[in-house]
């Protein structure tokens, strides 16, 4: 996961810098097809980065919830109680 995040953020850094360089050039000041495609590409990269990070959070949450549920069911008299953080992530996942 760490390597994947490092490579993704490195690509994002390069993409944003190339976007700044493109719009800093005076010959690219008007809106044309290049501008539309560049903005579409940067929005797609931002979306995939967000989905990747949310997927990593979901994997960590699933492992944490399973371990907590097993311990709580044994120690809480059969009543499964989840921490507030798990409930918040579950609601956020359902909305997205």
Contact 57, 5 (CB under 8 A): no
Structure tokens given for 5: 């995040």
pLDDT digits (tens, 9 = 90+) for 26-35: 876 777 788 8
* pTM exceeding 0.75: no
pLDDT digits (tens, 9 = 90+) for 49-89: 999 888 888 776 666 666 555 555 555 554 455 566 666 66
Nearest-angstrom CA–CA distance, 45 and 52: 11
**Per-residue pLDDT at 40 exceeds 70:** yes
């Amino acid at each position: 996961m760490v390597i994947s995040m490092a490579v993704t953020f490195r690509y994002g850094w390069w993409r944003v810098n190339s976007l700044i360089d493109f719009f800093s050039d005076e010959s690219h000041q008007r809106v044309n097809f290049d501008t539309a495609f560049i903005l579409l590409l940067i929005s797609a990269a931002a979306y995939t980065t967000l989905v990747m990070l949310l997927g990593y959070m979901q994997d960590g949450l699933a492992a944490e919830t399973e371990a907590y549920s097993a311990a709580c069911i044994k120690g809480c008299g059969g009543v499964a109680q989840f921490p507030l953080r798990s409930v918040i992530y579950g609601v956020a996942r359902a909305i997205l």
